[in-house]
Structure 1
Amino acid sequence: MDFLKVKNGAVVDESGNRVRLRGTNSGAWMNMENFMNGFPGCEHRLRFFAKQILGEELGSYFFDSMLGNFFTEADVEYIASLGMNLLRIPLNYRHFEDDMHPFVYKEEGFQMLDKALDWCEKHNVYAILDLHAVQGWQNSDWHSDNYTRSALLWRTLHFQDRFVALWEEFAKRYKGRSVIAGYDLMNEPCTNTDYTRMPLLPYDGRWDEMNKLYRRVTEAIRKIDSDHIVILEGDDFSRRFMGLDVPFTDNLMYSSHEYSLVGTHPELETDEQKRDFIRKEFLEAEGTKFAMKYNVPLWVSEFSFLPDQVELYEEMNVHWTQWSLKGVGGGFLLHTPDDGAYNSLVRPVMDKALFTSPHWGEEASRELREQIIALSETVKHLVGAKNLDNVEHPVYFNTTIGDNYVDCMLQYPYLELFQGKNKEELDHILSDFRFDRCQINKDVEERFRKYCKS
């Protein structure tokens, strides 16, 4: 496979031909996410409790089986069959480094990633390494495997040193692998959550800290690996770009996330109105404006699939990867069988989870949700912060109380569902994540075939 480069605002191969990158994310594999894997709370806390409830051996085996079934060569072969040429691989630093042994790297994590890269190479699919969960956490949410609501990366030099060193390790190991299209340095940074996620406006980004760290890690990578594209995401969950330094070196690509709000506007009744709304969203997004201003390639690395979005990206020559390949419910290309062993087993717990996939029922948690909204209104009145008038403050209460408290408490009853089962029984249940057991979202599949093979 050719090494890809950025030249004159475009991604090109070694012959100078333009390359359009289209694909998906491997999703909740080397960085598990509750609403995708169908468990409550955040990953590393679940791993801790698993060894308490299931025992050391089975507690580890549970995750080996989950991840071993979740993503295999069959998934990459399927991606290639759709005409996709790109797979973004979200990574959790904990697969490569232990907090108690900083700067010492785990071979088992690299072996796991190497297998995926071999599959991609075999099926002619480029990969982008995406550090989705960073040491010290780059944002306050569950997808960086964070249960504290504080992003410590931005004010802790130790975590920044480890972040840079891990990218140096990636560069040393993969500098010669052309199957890797680029290095996505950090997923959805959110620099104003260093002390907690506060719903106060205006957004107070730490641009100096972000630019300094981006320059530092890029320079460190370039000293080892001058070939691979380096990808920078915007602040505020990849939505804000105007405080970023101007492109400061060559071979840079920028990544934005475009989760459209079109579905929250019931007044948009016709298809034409919805298309116009999506177009306006995209053209007014800071990532779009930044890429146009500086003539750098733009990659929408995450979006919930909407046909109008993809058609717009195709029209605007934007690279894209849909979020995401696989999960327990709708919105994915593949999902576990609704009446399968896994969904049937975990449903009683997941129906109670507050912050999880809409695939699960909400009736059991409706009363608590209503109480959270009432509590948020009470606190708003008590605090009297006028800034709260401009945000959906119940969302912050729901995330903090739900994801970081209630759902973490639900991890015990979730794991107790697997108590007493042997390895064979665990494999049977968790094999529902295997490609040949998953159900295919045919509508999404056909649209992707159309776009990727056009």
Structure 2
Amino acid sequence: MKKPLRMILCFALAAALALPLSAPPAAAAAKPAGAVGFTADDYLTVNNRELVNRRGEKVKLKGANLGAWLIMEDWLCPYEEVGDNYELLETLIARFGVQKAYELMNTYEDNFITAYDLDQIAAMGFNCVRVPFWYRNFYYDDNGSKILDSNGDWDFSRLDWVVRECSARRIYVILDMHGAPGFQSDAPHSGKADSNGLFAKTPQGERYRELTDELWTAIAARFRGNPAVAMYDLLNEPCCDMPVTELQRRIYNEGIYKRLYKTVRAADEDHIITLECIWTPLALPQVRTHNWQNVVYQVHFYNNSDFIFAAFLLLTRLYHPGIPLMMGEFYPLGRTTWKGCFRTMENLGFSWMLWTYKGAGHLMWESDWCLKGSKDGFERAKIKTDPFAEIARKWGAYLRTENGYTDTGHYRNNVEAFLG
């Protein structure tokens, strides 16, 4: 970097760090008298660098991820003996058959997040949740065998429930494809480690992309016009952990996002679409390159100092100056502080989503990775050796937040002051 540019960036960064917290932008408007949940006037769209509802009010989203609910990660979820969600599900299918395996998964999902949790989130003052899901919530296998409901229709009841219940509490929902068919990264949080078949230039890779198109088409058509849905999050952290250069990451991202943007817009012209560039703002093109409309760019960052966090966000704002930005996941590692993160996001106008609301693991009961942590002595399901009934018990009522989890203190100590 040439010296003048370096000096300009340093001055701008210092300003981002030094500015006092500005008055918070208007959050979702107060519930009108006699109204039930969101109305058409609460529908969000993009207006330059802001999110606005149809009353013209600016809305800054401040929320939490519902991680570990519809897609599982070993460090956040009560299971052992397998590494990732794909291995977990395939092991259950091999042991108990498809129907019984999904019976166990339904038991888990019925209990991990309930109406009680959404009440807690609303009471804390959050106005949004990001809902990570993966393709196996809707397909039995990698071949596109749809999971059907009792009427013989493709089963989206889990998403229907969370959108409906959040709407009743005036909480917006971001629908996040955390794990696409074929997988979009080598990271296990996509559902399967070391697997990025979504990008493969093979007939099988194209089949994965077709299934991803099919799934997003169905979701977008289902929630078209629904004001509780803030936006569609097309892919979580594409190319994460893949051995690629930043240029290659940009090429992969741009190609798949061009396709999925077109897919969603064919089914839903109006909802916001959010695209993730995760580690650097260079991993996505500027919006005007493709004339993408009603788009929010999203970053995720886990860093080691307030200075690096602020520099990263400032670079993102400078590189993408004309659109709303959102921190979809973050956590202050090393010397980074929660106060520093929140201050920078407020000053640079970012919406944000905590990672995450709830987690099960050793010392989670006092961890600031989550708002609700498993109590000391929690039980993990042994996926390869526990009998069916034992897994069902461990994933039953005790999995509910009010039974087996505790307040970690994270909300009170680090978050509450920044929700005003």
Q: How many angstroms apart in 1 are the aligned matches of 2:388 and 2:191?
A: 27
- Relative to 1, partners in 2 of residues 1:319 and 1:246: Cα closer, same or farther, differing over 3 Å? same
SS in 2 for 1:205: helix
Residue equivalent to 2:323? 296
Residue equivalent to 2:198? 153
Q: How many angstroms apart in 2 are the aligned matches of 1:95 and 1:213?
A: 21
Residue equivalent to 1:250? 293
SS in 2 for 1:170: helix
Letter in 1 for 2:136: R
Q: How many angstroms apart in 1 are the aligned matches of 2:76 and 2:172?
A: 23
Q: CA RMSD in A?
A: 2.5
Retained in 1: the 8 A contact 2:246–2:282?
no
Letter in 2 for 1:302: E
Letter in 2 for 1:291: H
Deviations 1:272-295, CA, capped at 9 Å, x for gaps: xxx4454234334xx333333xx1
1:14 paired residue among 40, 49, 54: 54
User: Deviation of residue 133 (structure 1)?
Assistant: 0.1
User: Deviation of residue 223 (structure 1)?
Assistant: 2.4
After TM superposition, the score normalised by the length of structure 1 is 0.72
Deviations 1:147-175, CA, capped at 9 Å, x for gaps: 3x131111222211221221111111110
Residue equivalent to 1:396? none
SS in 1 for 2:104: helix
Q: How many angstroms apart in 2 are the aligned matches of 1:29 and 1:303?
A: 18
Q: How many residues matched?
A: 356
**1:102-141 to 2 correspondences below 5 Å:** 102=144, 104=146, 106-107=148-149, 109-141=155-187
User: Deviation of residue 434 (structure 1)?
Assistant: 2.8
SS in 1 for 2:296: strand
Q: How many angstroms apart in 2 are the aligned matches of 1:425 and 1:167?
A: 34
Is 2:279 the counterpart of 1:239? yes
SS in 2 for 1:335: strand
1:415 paired residue among 370, 383, 395: 383
SS in 1 for 2:70: coil
SS in 1 for 2:144: strand
Moved over 6 A (4+): none
- Relative to 1, partners in 2 of residues 1:319 and 1:427: Cα closer, same or farther, differing over 3 Å? closer
Identity %: 24
Residue equivalent to 1:310? 342
Q: How many angstroms apart in 2 are the aligned matches of 1:416 and 1:433?
A: 23
- Relative to 1, partners in 2 of residues 1:443 and 1:282: Cα closer, same or farther, differing over 3 Å? same
SS in 2 for 1:64: helix
Deviations 1:209-229, CA, capped at 9 Å, x for gaps: 432321222122222212200
Residue equivalent to 2:134? 92
Residue equivalent to 1:391? none
SS in 2 for 1:256: strand
**1:48-447 to 2 correspondences below 5 Å:** 48-53=90-95, 59-99=101-141, 101-102=143-144, 104=146, 106-107=148-149, 109-147=155-193, 149-155=194-200, 156-190=205-239, 197-198=242-243, 202-234=245-277, 238-247=278-287, 248-262=291-305, 275-284=306-315, 287-292=316-321, 295-304=322-331, 306-328=338-360, 329=364, 330=367, 331-340=369-378, 342=379, 414-416=382-384, 418-419=386-387, 421=389, 425-426=393-394, 431-447=398-414
Structure 1: tracts of 5 or more residues without a match: 263-274, 347-413
- Relative to 1, partners in 2 of residues 1:179 and 1:420: Cα closer, same or farther, differing over 3 Å? closer
- Relative to 1, partners in 2 of residues 1:418 and 1:289: Cα closer, same or farther, differing over 3 Å? farther
Q: How many angstroms apart in 2 are the aligned matches of 1:336 and 1:152?
A: 34
Letter in 2 for 1:80: A
Q: How many angstroms apart in 2 are the aligned matches of 1:90 and 1:140?
A: 17
Q: How many angstroms apart in 2 are the aligned matches of 1:126 and 1:223?
A: 23
Retained in 2: the 8 A contact 1:128–1:180?
yes
After TM superposition, the score normalised by the length of structure 2 is 0.78
- Relative to 1, partners in 2 of residues 1:79 and 1:242: Cα closer, same or farther, differing over 3 Å? same
Q: How many angstroms apart in 1 are the aligned matches of 2:196 and 2:142?
A: 19
User: Deviation of residue 298 (structure 1)?
Assistant: 0.6
- Relative to 1, partners in 2 of residues 1:213 and 1:442: Cα closer, same or farther, differing over 3 Å? same
Structure 2: tracts of 5 or more residues without a match: 1-37, 333-337
SS in 2 for 1:258: strand
User: Deviation of residue 422 (structure 1)?
Assistant: 5.4
- Relative to 1, partners in 2 of residues 1:8 and 1:421: Cα closer, same or farther, differing over 3 Å? closer
Is 2:70 the counterpart of 1:30? yes
User: Deviation of residue 258 (structure 1)?
Assistant: 1.3
Q: How many angstroms apart in 2 are the aligned matches of 1:445 and 1:117?
A: 27
- Relative to 1, partners in 2 of residues 1:299 and 1:56: Cα closer, same or farther, differing over 3 Å? closer
Residue equivalent to 1:390? none
Retained in 2: the 8 A contact 1:95–1:106?
no
Residue equivalent to 1:3? 43
Retained in 2: the 8 A contact 1:182–1:231?
yes
Deviations 1:55-102, CA, capped at 9 Å, x for gaps: 666544432222211111111111111110010000101111244542
Q: How many angstroms apart in 2 are the aligned matches of 1:103 and 1:208?
A: 31
Retained in 1: the 8 A contact 2:128–2:174?
yes
Q: How many angstroms apart in 2 are the aligned matches of 1:214 and 1:52?
A: 35
Q: How many angstroms apart in 2 are the aligned matches of 1:213 and 1:254?
A: 15
Q: How many angstroms apart in 1 are the aligned matches of 2:230 and 2:96?
A: 40
SS in 2 for 1:309: helix
Letter in 2 for 1:290: Y
Residue equivalent to 1:376? none
SS in 1 for 2:54: coil
Letter in 1 for 2:114: T
Residue equivalent to 1:449? 416
User: Deviation of residue 417 (structure 1)?
Assistant: 5.4
Deviations 1:322-345, CA, capped at 9 Å, x for gaps: 0001101221110111123x1xx5
User: Deviation of residue 29 (structure 1)?
Assistant: 0.9
SS in 2 for 1:418: coil
